[in-house]
Amino acid sequence: MPAPHTDAIAWGPDGSVRVLDQTALPAEVRWLTITSVEAMIEAIRSLRVRGAPLIGIAAAMGLAAEAARLVAEARAPQPSPHNWPTGEWLEAACRRLAAARPTAVNLRHAIERMQRAGLEAMRSGAAGPDLAQRLRTEAQAIWDGDAAMCQAIGEYGQALIGPGARILTHCNTGMLATGGIGTALGVVYLAHQRGRAVSVIATETRPLGQGARLTAWELTRAGIPCRVIVDGAAAWMMARREVDVVIVGADRIAANGDVANKIGTYGLALLARAHGIPFYVAAPRSTFDLASPSGEAIPIEERPASEIAGGLEGLSAFNPAFDVTPGALVTAIVTDQGVLRPPYGPSIAALGR
Amino acid sequence: MPAPHTDAIAWGPDGSVRVLDQTALPAEVRWLTITSVEAMIEAIRSLRVRGAPLIGIAAAMGLAAEAARLVAEARAPQPSPHNWPTGEWLEAACRRLAAARPTAVNLRHAIERMQRAGLEAMRSGAAGPDLAQRLRTEAQAIWDGDAAMCQAIGEYGQALIGPGARILTHCNTGMLATGGIGTALGVVYLAHQRGRAVSVIATETRPLGQGARLTAWELTRAGIPCRVIVDGAAAWMMARREVDVVIVGADRIAANGDVANKIGTYGLALLARAHGIPFYVAAPRSTFDLASPSGEAIPIEERPASEIAGGLEGLSAFNPAFDVTPGALVTAIVTDQGVLRPPYGPSIAALGR
């Protein structure tokens, strides 16, 4: 049985990609149809599609969609002058997509796979519709692979979740963030499915409220009990003994186990440590970056001050999208290949690709 | 020279009270004119006027305003049937005002003073306009006293602030929260006035954004450099060594030094401790509650889920307005009578009233 796939993205007509616009949730379920790399970059930059694994999948699908459109245009009665996917096109498109957001490494990994697949296909003579088809097949394989990895993470994570566990999570790491059932939320979905009576405390996750808007929406849809708190209330919930375990996702994990994830994660890890609560990170292989020896090598995206509420004109703000949690604060990392325990260096180096 | 007074509240015509509606800031500077206890309770409950010391002052002024109106109505050509301030009126009004919000103890202290002053005046024969005048005088004395306490806190706090200090603060504790220059922000204002080149990192302070909306507005108006961060970014700022000191206010301090303050304060104290950064609380005498032996005795107000963004219908949330920071995490408490150091029990017991 194939692993469940997210319904936050889909193939559209004529090789296009349909993307659920997450900036409109939960007020509105609005779909975008994307037929170009530029439109996908816009959707990624403006967080219409977000979540480290889903960004990689969406970028790969966006590349395939543009290839399909170029092929269609070249076949049309009045062919476009710049069409037919070429090696130059592939290289430029991949470069632009990979730079859409800097922190999540899944994006770079997905685009590298797409570029490799395209170049290999061209080398063996594929062109036009064959090349476009090859890119679509590769994008689908990346998506399928991520869904399978989510399922495996969920399975491995069950060992860490006791019956009735009250699970605190940050940001959104579910169906809206991945190609499958999610990473941290994947563990929650499977525990719920198996009748383990878990409940979730979702941090609001400022500045963009992905916890209050997206995680609460997903879990409510699935019938999983969920309470939202402001980010600042996490420590107080821990002091009140209302949190049994913290599980978060990751945007990039360095070779030593340092974890870049949504801003606020590092603070949660410190607070969990201070209260003796286990702090787990759930992520697929594609989130690990052996080229980053430690968290210091991970670029941290800074976003505009305007995302921070206030309405004060000329408000000066510092708005990093991510922070880095030292591996030493992470109790375990749940991957699709098993649960890693510190010290992380050797087990991360041994992860299959 | 009298201590500077806040300009967030004022006496209006005919004994009324004018209150700056803080829910409209920073978009709009809107004033409310209040002539009744009920209207003041509404303004306090809906956070149009907020900040532990300012709530106490506003409640006292609201009581005086209603007394003035009752006197005026009784003198009018067609006297109202229920007029003329009576002992029963005083008792009921004080009871209702004191219950407007549960956590800040300054409110209770201010109302106790008002009730005592009113009863004493009645016992010595005062009635009607004389009684109303006595209540107004007492409310003004509470306000003047708070302004003087802010100034003293600011002075004592200077010893804790090095030149060029980068000060992280939470919520709003300035002119918009007190009768004077503020508590934690009072320390900042005086340091700035004296050319000590301080700058402020203001947490946004969810759910209502009093940091991003109010602290940023106040400090910008005063020309003090200020950057806003989301609450979740505080730990990351500390890890980046961008925070030299944390100073916050308090809504109630128990006899053992436990501090109830805006939700998120406890987490900041733990994070400051983890990074070796001093964590100071600034508060006047009126914030100490010797009747609460420890933080466990302090009632914590819970506010509606609708204050947490998301827009999801039926969103389940836990929205405490405050948390309690154990005194053991507080490096020092800056009061208007000097700087207290742990253990706090004896020095709090010795505080003058």
Q: What is the pLDDT of residues A87-127, one digit of tens each?
A: 999 999 999 999 999 998 999 999 999 999 999 999 999 88
Cβ <8 Å between A204 and B206: yes
Which of the residues of A are catalytic? 251
| Residues of chain A numbered 27-86 and touching chain B (CB < 8 Å) | 27
Secondary structure (3-state) at A123: helix
pLDDT tier at B310, thresholds 50, 70, 90: low
pLDDT tens for residues A227-243?
999 999 999 999 999 99
Structure confidence at residue A311 (pLDDT): 61
Cα dihedral B118→B121→B125→B127 (10° resolution): -50
pLDDT tens for residues A270-296?
999 999 999 999 999 999 999 999 999
Query: Which one of B209, B236, B270 has the shortest CB-CB distance to A271?
Result: B270
A223 contacts chain B (CB < 8 A): no
In chain B, count H helices and then E strands. Answer: 11, 14
Contacts of A228 in chain B (CB under 8 A): 305, 308, 310, 315-318
The residue from B146, B251, B258, B336 that is catalytic is B251
Of residues B79 and B92, more confidently modeled? B92
Radius of gyration of chain A from Cα atoms?
Answer: 20
C-alpha–C-alpha distance, residues B222 and B204, integer Å: 19
C-alpha–C-alpha distance, residues B227 and B245, integer Å: 15
Contacts of A206 in chain B (CB under 8 A): 204, 206, 230-232
Structure confidence at residue B83 (pLDDT): 47
C-alpha–C-alpha distance, residues A61 and B261, integer Å: 49
Q: Across the A/B interface, how many CB contacts are shorter than 8 Å?
A: 186
pLDDT beyond 70 at B82: no
| Residues of chain A numbered 230-289 and touching chain B (CB < 8 Å) | 230-237, 239, 262-267, 270-271, 274
Query: Which one of B216, B220, B320 has the shortest CB-CB distance to A233?
Result: B320
To the query of whether residue B251 is one of the catalytic residues in this protein, the response is yes
B2 contacts chain A (CB < 8 A): no
B25: number of Cβ within 10 Å: 23
Full strand arrangement of the beta sheet holding A338-340? A226-229, A199-203, A166-169, A245-248, A279-282, A332-335, A338-340
Cβ <8 Å between B318 and A233: yes
Report residue A122: phi and psi, to 5°: -65, -40
pLDDT tier at A83, thresholds 50, 70, 90: very low
Cα dihedral A125→A127→A133→A138 (10° resolution): 60
- Mutate which of B169, B214, B226, B312 to test chain A, going by most A C-beta atoms within 10 A? B312
DSSP classification of residue B20: E
Q: Angle at which helices B37-45 and B87-98 pack, to 10 degrees?
A: 10
Token digits of residue B343: 């253990």
Query: What average pLDDT is seen over chain A?
Result: 95
Cβ <8 Å between B26 and A264: no
Query: Which one of A26, A265, A271 has the shortest CB-CB distance to B267?
Result: A271
Is B324 exposed, middle or buried (CB count within 10 Å of its CB: 0-12, 13-18, 19+)? Answer: buried
Of residues A73 and A211, more confidently modeled? A211
A176 contacts chain B (CB < 8 A): no
Report residue A280: phi and psi, to 5°: -110, 145
B214 contacts chain A (CB < 8 A): no
Structure confidence at residue B1 (pLDDT): 75
Structure confidence at residue B309 (pLDDT): 61
Contacts 24+ apart (CB under 8 A), B183-186: B183/B53, B183/B150, B183/B153, B183/B249, B183/B250, B183/B282, B183/B283, B183/B284, B183/B334, B184/B247, B184/B248, B184/B249, B184/B280, B184/B281, B184/B282, B185/B215, B185/B218, B185/B219, B186/B150, B186/B151, B186/B153, B186/B154, B186/B157, B186/B282
Query: Which one of A27, A235, A267 has the shortest CB-CB distance to B311?
Result: A27
A195 contacts chain B (CB < 8 A): no
Average pLDDT over residues B252-258: 98
C-alpha–C-alpha distance, residues A284 and A295, integer Å: 18
